[in-house]
Amino acid sequence: MREIMVKKLIKYPGSKLVIIPDIRRIFLESGQEYFVDVFGGSGSVSLNIAGKVVYNDINDELCNLFRVIRSRPDEFLRMAARWAVSKEKFYTYGKSIEEKGKDGENGVSLAFRTFYIFNTRFGGMGETYSTTREKSAYSSVLKILNNFDFIRDAVSKWQIENMDFRELIRKLDSSRSFFYLDPPYPGKNWYRYNFRESDFTDMRDLLKDVRGKYLMNFNAEDQLPHEIFGEASLVKGYPNRNGKYSESAPRFRYVSFYANFEIS
């Protein structure tokens, strides 16, 4: 089967690029009207879903990035073009934001700062983040900007929310809603807002009573989700594209899917 090309705006820890075709297929097969990306993060899933999309994230800087692209795309692109005109200029910008921080930044300037940091550092946490598939952060950003028309068109149709998952699900639950949940990895401190065990149990209790349909995924090797949510609805292997390739690296990564309807 021919691999479907997926679009992205930023790098993000735990980003689910390889499973997006299955997420998209399951949503279409569900017959639901609204796709609600509860933990939207990088936006990579929402960017590749056709139809009515609600992007949500508790990180206000990510929400600002997508709101700027939705309402002020030309200003964002002009700023990106200014700093991405050369590799030297690109990294000069990185040094400048390290020196001055983000005090006083808002709107377009804060959006581009967020875009830059997530594409050059691991989850915006200051550590380098790269794979063997991309030579440098600069070349990666150029590829993303070459797809900006697609990204702008997709985001222009989104409803964007900045809520805790509990508030969002209660607000948007209906018989027409499809909730996609890719919560923070258990035991990882990669995010501004990490998950505690109590957050997972709250999510379990909330999902028991939703009127809509939901699809949730975890790495299959994570034990906590299995303990809280029980047996997965589906476990599927995907080519391992994270990190450096080596003889000892597993060829496949397995994902556990949970749903309140039949999936395959």
Q: Is residue 10 part of a domain?
A: no
Q: Is residue 195 part of a domain?
A: yes
Percentage of the chain exceeding pLDDT 90: 72
Q: Is residue 81 part of a domain?
A: yes
Q: Is residue 69 part of a domain?
A: yes
Domain count, the chain: 1
Lowest mean pLDDT among 43-52, 120-129, 245-254: 120-129
- Position 3 confidence tier, pLDDT thresholds 50, 70, 90: very low
CB 183 within 8 A of CB 169: no
Q: Which residue has 């505690």 as its token pair?
A: 196
CB 254 within 8 A of CB 220: yes
Answer whether residue 210 shows pLDDT above 60: yes
CA neighbours within 13 Å on the CB side: how many for 225?
A: 22
Answer whether residue 132 shows pLDDT above 60: no
Q: Any idea what the CATH number is for the domain that residue 100 is in?
A: 3.40.50.150
Q: Is residue 27 part of a domain?
A: yes
CB 214 within 8 A of CB 201: no
Q: What is the C-alpha to C-alpha distance for residues 114 and 102, in angstroms, rounded to an integer?
A: 10
Question: pLDDT for 178-199, tens place per residue?
Answer: 999 999 877 666 566 778 899 9
Span 23-36, mean pLDDT? 98
Q: Is residue 216 part of a domain?
A: yes
Answer whether residue 229 shows pLDDT above 80: yes
- Position 106 confidence tier, pLDDT thresholds 50, 70, 90: confident
Sign, CA dihedral 105-143-183-63, equals positive
Question: pLDDT for 35-92, tens place per residue?
Answer: 999 999 999 999 999 999 999 999 999 999 999 999 999 999 999 999 999 999 999 9
CA distances from 100 to 88, 148, 182 (A): 19, 28, 33
- Helix, strand and coil content of the chain, in percent to the nearest 5, comes to 45, 15, 40
Q: Is residue 105 part of a domain?
A: yes
Q: Is residue 8 part of a domain?
A: no
Of residues 66 and 245, more confidence is placed in 66
**DSSP reduced 3-state for 43:** coil
Percentage of the chain exceeding pLDDT 70: 84
What pLDDT score does 105 carry?
Answer: 76
Lowest mean pLDDT among 10-19, 108-117, 232-241: 10-19
Burial class (CB within 10 angstroms; exposed 0-12, middle 13-18, buried 19+) of 38: buried
What pLDDT score does 17 carry?
Answer: 86
Give the residue numbers spanning the domain of 203. 17-259
